[in-house]
Amino acid sequence: MIRRLIQFVSAFAGNSYLLGFVRGTIYQGPLKSVCFPGMNCYSCPGAVFACPIGSLQAVLTQPGALHSIAVGKPEGIIFFYVLGFIFLIGSLVGRLLCGWVCPFGFIQDLLHKIPTRKVGIPRQWRLMKYAILVVFVLLLPLFLRDGFGVPWKPSADTAAVEHESPSDVKATGKTLFSEDPGSPWFCKVICPVGTLEGGVTLVSYDRISGRNRFSLGFLFYFKLSVLGVFLVWIVMAKRPFCRTVCPLGAIWGIFNKVSVWRMHVDTSACTKCLACRKVCPVGCSIFEEPDSAECVRCLDCVPKCPKRCISSGTGRSAAVARPVSKVVSESPP
């Protein structure tokens, strides 16, 4: 119940620009410079923060991105801000925010409550999110331009602004970027979050209000189909987006093994009753691998364990769960 409340509050806080829903516009104020710790598309009318995965791609899509990062140009150094933001959260709490803060995780948790036939997800499909992270978030935005196949090189546009300081750019009103950036391919062909939070809401507003500002192309209907598939899958399976697609979860999952905040299982007391697995929102067997990259650290399993084998914390003391004998002796006769 507390987790649901925190999920709701964080989803609301991340999308608290209510005027955007009323006017059908997107907030572009100073808070958009701050990344949100979860998957929350910045094209959602209510979004007040930036999506970290979208921001990462935005940096990499700029012509000469590698060069900008390597030589320390201001538009390149922002890469360290976005990556540092993601890594910092990962190194502190691993995937904890997937379970407690991410708005799309919250949506998945709620939709999965719809009573219908439930299905599992093959174990191997979990690896897909790492491939998506490398190919669609890093490589394609970096190397594939809209013209298909134009490799990275410092562009003429980039060279033109090379000698201008950021203050000059602000004064002249020019941007630091070429007008021909690559595409954030993950957002463009896969991510259902943007379609749900941004596409559907903005287009619905547009059509209902009769403004008809937007012309919808093949891409919109393609993304709508992708969203439809995901929605059906989410109702039937536990958090399929988090387990098979989410690049942010993939990064934070890697940190689960080394983060400051960890999950711990007293394996000597565990009877493998599977009570933890039944309540797990990602179908994880925590007794097999407490630091599993799949665990979103929702802590739903902790009170459900009949032997109280599962604990979490930062220090060595938290690693030792209460022994079974002690638990038994404390229980009422």
Partner 1 sequence: MKPLRVLLVILILCVFVLGVSLGDIGPVLHKATQICLECIGIG
Q: Is 209 in the site for partner 1 (CB under 8 A)?
A: no
Q: Is 188 in the site for partner 1 (CB under 8 A)?
A: yes
Choose the stretch contacting partner 1; rule: CB under 8 A; options: 8-16, 53-61, 123-131, 153-161: 53-61
Nearest to residue 119, comparing CAs of 237, 230, 228, 231? 237
**Count of residues that bind partner 1 according to CB under 8 A:** 65
Nearest approach in angstroms of CB 32 to partner 1 is: 6
Look at phi and psi of residue 111 and say left if phi exceeds 0, alpha if psi is from -120 to 50, else beta.
alpha
Q: Is 61 in the site for partner 1 (CB under 8 A)?
A: yes
Nearest approach in angstroms of CB 57 to partner 1 is: 8
Nearest to residue 109, comparing CAs of 291, 303, 294, 279? 279
Nearest approach in angstroms of CB 219 to partner 1 is: 3
Instruction: Answer yes or no: are the C-beta atoms of 324 and 307 closer than 8 Å.
Output: yes
Binding-site member from 6, 13, 43, 277 for partner 1 (CB under 8 A): 43
In three-state secondary structure terms, 175 is coil
Binding-site member from 6, 13, 26, 273 for partner 1 (CB under 8 A): 26
Indicate the residue type of 10: S
Choose the stretch contacting partner 1; rule: CB under 8 A; options: 101-109, 112-120, 129-137, 215-223: 215-223
Residues shown for the chain: 333
By CB neighbour count within 10 A (0-12 exposed, 13-18 middle, 19+ buried), where does 87 fall?
middle
Binding-site member from 39, 75, 245, 270 for partner 1 (CB under 8 A): 75
Q: Is 71 in the site for partner 1 (CB under 8 A)?
A: no
Binding-site member from 6, 13, 66, 83 for partner 1 (CB under 8 A): 83
In three-state secondary structure terms, 42 is coil
Q: How far is CA 76 from CA 66, 138, 162, 179, in A?
A: 8, 15, 12, 16
Choose the stretch contacting partner 1; rule: CB under 8 A; options: 120-128, 191-199, 241-249, 268-276: 191-199
The residue (of 53 and 296) whose beta carbon lies closer to partner 1 is 53
Nearest approach in angstroms of CB 158 to partner 1 is: 14
Cα distance between residue 259 and residue 11, in whole Å: 24
The rounded Cα 35 to chain-centroid distance in angstroms is 11
